[in-house]
């Protein structure tokens, strides 16, 4: 699923923060539903990973 050249520390447009940021976690990309592809192309929201970084908890 992850055939992109993104490094673990890079962010994608759908990410709310960089990976490893306290108070965040991985979630399935809402655009491609975790497949990493939309319309036979790499999903632009998650960069083809199928995952986005989102804030957890709530305040």
Express each pLDDT in 4-56 by its tens digit.
555 556 899 999 999 999 999 999 999 999 999 999 999 999 999 999 999 99
| Alpha-carbon gap, residue 8 to 20, rounded angstroms | 9
Q: Total structural domains in the chain?
A: 1
- Alpha carbon distance 59, 53 (integer Å): 18
Boundaries of domain holding 57: 1-59
Determine the 3-state secondary structure of 53 from DSSP.
strand
Structural tokens at position 42: 């790499």
What is the pLDDT confidence band of residue 1, given thresholds at 50, 70 and 90? very low
* Distance between first and last Cα of the chain: 33
Per-residue pLDDT, 58: 67
CA distance 14 to 12: 5
């Amino acid at each position: 699923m992850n055939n992109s050249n993104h490094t673990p520390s890079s962010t994608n447009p759908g990410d709310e923060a960089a990976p490893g940021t306290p108070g965040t976690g991985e979630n399935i990309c809402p655009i491609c539903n975790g497949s990493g592809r939309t319309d036979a192309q790499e999903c632009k929201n998650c960069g083809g990973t199928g995952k986005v970084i989102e804030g957890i908890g709530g305040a």
